[in-house]
């Protein structure tokens, strides 16, 4: 079972929920992987404190032009939708950071002047945090495109029966990539106008992806009633409500898991996990679980 923890708004407690869930699942004897898909700003390691075992560089293909074979016909720039390759005078410019790695230019080049080379975009790092299998991606600073790296994080986290994916904030391509192929999406929000606005966007996104979802309302005693009303009106199951607890905030500020700092929270997250397990029916072979050769 693959559970994606996402949120729309940042800072609502995704990482807190994801790390604690992985922790209690492992304590309960389940084989579990925590996968940090927030490759722009991965934070799960600050709480689960893994022992690293392997670090692998992730690349994506970009074109390389052999100018001795190039006839400057311009077909490469014609097929490229991303303005990543352009003949200029007697040379061909490649804008690597704009390239999506579709391979179109190489296919279309009539003289075979284009081959592909690997461009590093980040790393996938694996280890163990006690009984929890730990995987994370770290995007190189300055690299704009994270989805191909997120995809590699997902491929590296298929060893256990249960995988908790910690998604990035927002609702655009990095989140879509993180959430795609999950069996269930857990949306973590806070009951404020910003939290609710972004929750609605995240709910629409999850619906567009035809995935089942549930809600966690964090700091549920702050803000107003509107988030609960919205969930009820839209029949979104609220799977947990976590209070604004100073002990948890302090534990967070020390890099300690809520369950470890305040043992009473172990039960809270065990209950959440049990509800998740009941709500999430593993989907039959979803398209995203099939073969894929994303660059």
Q: Give the binding site for another protein (CB under 8 A).
A: 7-12, 15, 38, 40-41, 43, 46, 79, 81-82, 100-104, 107-108, 139, 141-146, 168-174, 176, 180, 192-194, 197-198, 201, 204-205, 208-209, 222-224, 249-250, 252-255, 287-288, 290-295
- Residue placing its CB nearer to another protein in the complex, 82 or 95: 82
- Residue placing its CB nearer to another protein in the complex, 97 or 161: 97
Can you read off the two tokens belonging to residue 125? Answer: 């790092």
- Nearest approach, Cβ of 253 to another protein (angstroms)? 4
- Nearest approach, Cβ of 177 to another protein (angstroms)? 9
- Nearest approach, Cβ of 76 to another protein (angstroms)? 12
- Residue placing its CB nearer to another protein in the complex, 169 or 214: 169
- Residue placing its CB nearer to another protein in the complex, 143 or 183: 143
Q: Which of 23, 231, 20, 21 is nearest to 131 (CA)?
A: 23
| Alpha carbons 259 and 14: distance in angstroms, whole number | 15
- Residue placing its CB nearer to another protein in the complex, 84 or 162: 84
What phi, psi does 78 have (nearest 5°)? Answer: -70, -45
| Alpha carbons 136 and 35: distance in angstroms, whole number | 6
- Nearest approach, Cβ of 25 to another protein (angstroms)? 22
Can you read off the two tokens belonging to residue 180? Answer: 């795609």
- Nearest approach, Cβ of 20 to another protein (angstroms)? 14
> Which residues, at least 6 apart from 130, have a Cβ–Cβ distance to it below 8 Å?
26
Residues recorded for the chain: 295
| Alpha carbons 175 and 58: distance in angstroms, whole number | 19
- Residue placing its CB nearer to another protein in the complex, 31 or 236: 236
The sign of the dihedral angle between the CA atoms of 41, 46, 47, 49 is: positive
- Residue placing its CB nearer to another protein in the complex, 180 or 266: 180
- Nearest approach, Cβ of 185 to another protein (angstroms)? 13
| Alpha carbons 103 and 101: distance in angstroms, whole number | 5
DSSP state letters, 59-110: EEEEEEE-TTT-----HHHHH-SSS-EEEETTEEEE-GGG-----HHHHH-T
- Nearest approach, Cβ of 61 to another protein (angstroms)? 9
């Amino acid at each position: 079972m693959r559970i994606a923890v996402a949120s729309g708004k940042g800072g609502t407690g995704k990482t807190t929920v994801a790390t604690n869930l992985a922790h209690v699942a492992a304590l309960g004897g389940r084989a579990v992987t925590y996968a940090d898909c927030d490759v722009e700003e991965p934070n799960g390691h600050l709480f689960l404190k893994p022992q690293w075992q392997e670090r692998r560089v992730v690349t994506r293909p970009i074109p390389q032009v052999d100018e001795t074979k190039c006839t400057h016909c311009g077909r490469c720039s014609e097929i490229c939708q991303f303005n990543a390759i352009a003949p200029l005078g007697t040379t061909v410019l490649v804008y690597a950071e704009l390239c999506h790695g579709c391979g179109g230019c190489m296919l279309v080049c009539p003289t075979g002047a284009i081959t592909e080379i690997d461009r590093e975009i980040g790393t996938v790092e694996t280890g163990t945090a006690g009984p929890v299998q730990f995987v994370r991606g770290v995007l190189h600073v300055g690299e704009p495109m994270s989805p191909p790296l997120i995809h590699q994080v997902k491929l590296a986290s298929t060893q256990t029966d249960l995988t908790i994916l910690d998604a990035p904030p927002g609702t655009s391509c990095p989140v879509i990539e993180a959430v795609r192929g999950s069996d269930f999406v857990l949306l973590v929000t806070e009951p404020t106008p910003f939290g609710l606005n972004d929750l609605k966007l995240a709910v629409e996104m999850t619906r567009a992806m035809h995935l089942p979802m549930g809600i966690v309302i964090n700091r549920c005693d702050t803000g107003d009633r509107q988030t609960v009303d919205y969930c009820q009106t839209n029949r979104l199951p609220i799977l947990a409500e976590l209070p604004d607890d100073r002990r948890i905030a302090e534990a967070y500020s020390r890099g300690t898991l809520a369950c470890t700092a305040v043992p009473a929270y172990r039960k809270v997250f065990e209950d959440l996990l049990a509800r998740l397990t009941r709500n999430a029916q593993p989907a039959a072979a979803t398209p995203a679980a099939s073969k894929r050769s994303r660059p």
